[in-house]
């Protein structure tokens, strides 16, 4: 298991953990709906324990509230997407 902890973000009602194959980032232009997908959604505090991923992956956390999912920052082609449907 992998324990994650992050700094709470004001205005967030919950968080989602987004993951993807690290090797896919450069050839496809970064974090987008092709390279990343929500692993866990609806986390109510700034910590989670998830199964340890196999292989080389990236893990990102996005805040969420009634207005939608927060951004994951900007990449070369603009804002990174975190809005894919939750499992």
**According to the model, what pLDDT value does residue 28 have?**
64
pTM of the model: 0.82
Question: Does position 3 have pLDDT exceeding 90, yes or no?
Answer: yes
Residues 12, 26: contact at Cβ < 8 Å? no
The residues, any chain, with a CB within 8 Å of residue 23's CB and separated by 6 or more, are 56
Residues 67, 56: contact at Cβ < 8 Å? no
**According to the model, what pLDDT value does residue 10 have?**
92
Grade residue 71 by pLDDT with cuts at 50, 70 and 90.
confident
Mean pLDDT of 57-72: 88
- What's the token pair of residue 51? 């199964």
Q: Which domains does the chain have, with CATH numbers?
A: 2-77 (2.60.40)
Q: What is the pLDDT of residues 5-64, one digit of tens each?
A: 999 999 999 999 999 888 877 766 677 777 888 999 999 999 999 998 888 999 989 999
């Amino acid at each position: 298991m992998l324990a994650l902890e992050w700094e709470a973000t004001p205005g967030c009602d919950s968080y989602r953990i987004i993951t993807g194959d690290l090797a896919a980032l450069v050839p496809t232009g970064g974090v987008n709906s092709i390279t990343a997908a929500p692993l866990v959604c609806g986390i109510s505090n700034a910590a989670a324990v998830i199964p340890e991923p196999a292989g080389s992956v990236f893990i990102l956390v996005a805040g969420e509230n009634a207005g939608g999912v927060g951004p994951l920052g900007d990449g070369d082609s603009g804002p990174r997407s975190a809005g894919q449907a939750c499992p």
